[in-house]
């Protein structure tokens, strides 16, 4: 962000959410993230205050790693939801007011290999399942979804109305 | 190797490895299409995985991404990308047809692109494995035609299960007459890095290189 917003000013901001990152936006602001392949974009929205948050999640579970990572909590489904909820709470927005939308989790490449030795390559599918499980546990309703398949997606998430605009390279765009 | 620090000796050594590999790959491509192929000086990057998309760039560009895994002594990932607008010319060249013959990407062309990934990777790995005296075996190729970032991020997500940083060896290859360009990425996994480094030490006769 180059300058601070002042209340009453008409400012339209596009806030970029990088890989393993998450960001907040309000009112006229738009959250954008590019290149969701197997990654999942999780958007949370409070309609009353027009507050939105979006995370670009790479992996399903922070506890399954074989090594310690010093990294952003938004990298994993479990820790991403936790940090987002904590921030909403600080803003006085309880999780009962939130709604969720998810995008991504594609299986871009299908490679033959022994699943016994290397686990399941389909990170996308596991990411979607993990995010849904976290939403269920926290009781946040999932109101929109565009997941799976084999296409990459980019997302714009509008804080003012909670619409997620999903773009693909060759398969057009749709709103959820 | 968890830090994003790579000393000059290894940076040069990795760059030379990239040179040896992509030189051989460019030669293979040149023979395949019967044209002169130029290549860039390989770029060596060792950076936290999350930063890769911003640095490697070209977010929204649509490409054909051919992905292979490398087994053996040096577990790695290979990504070969060609811009979407080049694909028909590229497959025309491969099929020995005048440029402009192909009008759509049918099954045969898609499979030709996969095969191209296999040929380039095979040539790259052959040269590298001879130089290092290590075994490197490529998997069958997988193909996605999609945005470059989505293709790259998927590989990075897979990589991030066991790695915090990514070492990327990137070379650009170019067919100048028809302006067809491509990128070749070799991404060794964490354990592979140490194997490569000791093989470099053996090959270059260096016993121990300080961490500066």
pLDDT value at position A87? 94
Q: Which domains does chain B have, with CATH numbers?
A: 8-204 (3.40.1550.10)
Interface-testing mutation among B61, B154, B166, with chain A (most A C-beta atoms within 10 A): B154
Nearest to B139 among A111, A151, A169 (CB): A111
pLDDT value at position A98? 95
Q: Is the pLDDT of residue A115 over 70?
A: no
Contact A73, B174 (CB under 8 A): no
Measured N-to-C along each axis, helices B107-132 and B190-204 cross at an angle, to the nearest 10 degrees, of: 50
**For residue B3, what pLDDT band results from cuts at 50, 70 and 90?**
very low
E strand or H helix that includes residue B188: strand B180-188
d(CA A91, CA A50): 12
Q: Which domains does chain A have, with CATH numbers?
A: 19-170 (3.30.1330.200)
Catalytic residue among A39, A45, A100, A155: A39
**Are the Cβ atoms of A58 and B139 closer than 8 angstroms?**
no
pLDDT value at position A112? 52
For residue A29, give the 3-state DSSP assignment.
coil
Which of B108, B116, B162, B143 shows the shortest CA–CA distance to A107?
Answer: B143
pLDDT tens-digit series, residues B74-91: 999 999 999 999 999 999
Phi, psi (5° rounding) for residue B95? -95, 10
Chain B hits for A124, CB-CB cut-off 8 Å, are 154
Q: Please give the structure tokens belonging to residue A8.
A: 């009453």
**For residue B100, what pLDDT band results from cuts at 50, 70 and 90?**
confident
Distance from CA of B147 to the nearest CA of A (A): 6
pLDDT tens-digit series, residues A51-100: 999 999 999 988 876 666 667 889 999 999 999 999 999 999 999 999 99
d(CA B34, CA B31): 5
pLDDT value at position B115? 92
- A to B CB pairs, distance under 8 Å: 124
pLDDT value at position B102? 82
- The answer to whether B55 faces chain A, any CB pair under 8 Å, is no
Nearest to A109 among B50, B62, B144 (CB): B144
CA neighbours closer than 13 Å in the CB half-sphere of residue B81 = 25
Residue of B nearest to A123 (CA): B158
Q: Is the pLDDT of residue A7 over 60?
A: no
Mean confidence (pLDDT) of chain B: 87
**For residue A8, what pLDDT band results from cuts at 50, 70 and 90?**
very low
Sign of CA dihedral B194, B198, B199, B200: positive
- The answer to whether B153 faces chain A, any CB pair under 8 Å, is yes
d(CA A126, CA A105): 8
């Amino acid at each position: 962000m180059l300058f601070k917003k002042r209340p009453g000013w008409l400012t339209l901001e596009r806030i970029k959410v990088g890989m393993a990152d998450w960001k907040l936006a309000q009112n006229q602001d738009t959250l954008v993230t590019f290149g969701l392949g197997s990654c999942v974009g999780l958007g949370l929205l409070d309609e009353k205050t027009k507050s939105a948050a979006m995370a670009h999640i790479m992996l399903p579970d922070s506890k399954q790693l074989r090594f310690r990572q010093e990294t952003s909590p938004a990298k994993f489904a479990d820790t991403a939801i936790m940090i987002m909820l904590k921030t909403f709470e600080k803003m006085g927005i309880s999780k009962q007011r939130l709604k969720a939308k998810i995008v991504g989790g594609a299986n871009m490449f299908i490679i033959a290999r022994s699943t016994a030795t290397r686990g399941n390559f389909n990170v996308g599918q596991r990411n979607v399942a993990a995010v849904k499980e976290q939403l269920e546990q926290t009781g946040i309703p999932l109101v929109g979804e565009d997941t799976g398949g084999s296409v990459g997606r980019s997302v714009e998430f509008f804080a003012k109305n909670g619409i997620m605009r999903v773009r693909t390279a060759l398969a057009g765009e749709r709103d959820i | 190797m968890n830090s994003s620090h790579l000393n000059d000796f290894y940076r040069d050594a990795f760059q030379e490895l990239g040179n040896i590999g992509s030189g051989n790959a460019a030669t293979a491509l040149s023979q395949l299409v019967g044209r002169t192929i130029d290549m860039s000086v390989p770029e060596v990057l060792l950076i936290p995985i999350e930063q890769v998309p911003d640095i490697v760039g070209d977010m929204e560009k649509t490409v054909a991404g051919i992905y292979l895994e490398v087994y053996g002594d040096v577990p790695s990932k290979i990504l070969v990308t060609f811009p979407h607008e080049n694909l028909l010319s590229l497959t025309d060249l491969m099929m020995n047809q005048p440029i402009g013959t192909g009008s759509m990407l049918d099954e045969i062309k898609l499979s030709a692109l996969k095969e191209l990934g296999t040929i380039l990777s095979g040539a790259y790995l052959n040269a590298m494995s001879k130089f290092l005296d290590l075994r490197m075996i490529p998997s069958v190729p997988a193909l996605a035609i999609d945005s470059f970032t989505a293709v790259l991020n998927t590989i990075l997500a897979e990589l991030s299960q066991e790695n915090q940083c990514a070492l990327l060896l990137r070379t650009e290859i170019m067919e100048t007459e028809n302006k067809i360009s491509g990128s070749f990425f070799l991404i060794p996994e964490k354990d592979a890095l140490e194997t490569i480094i000791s093989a470099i030490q053996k090959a270059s006769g260096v016993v121990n290189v300080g961490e500066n």
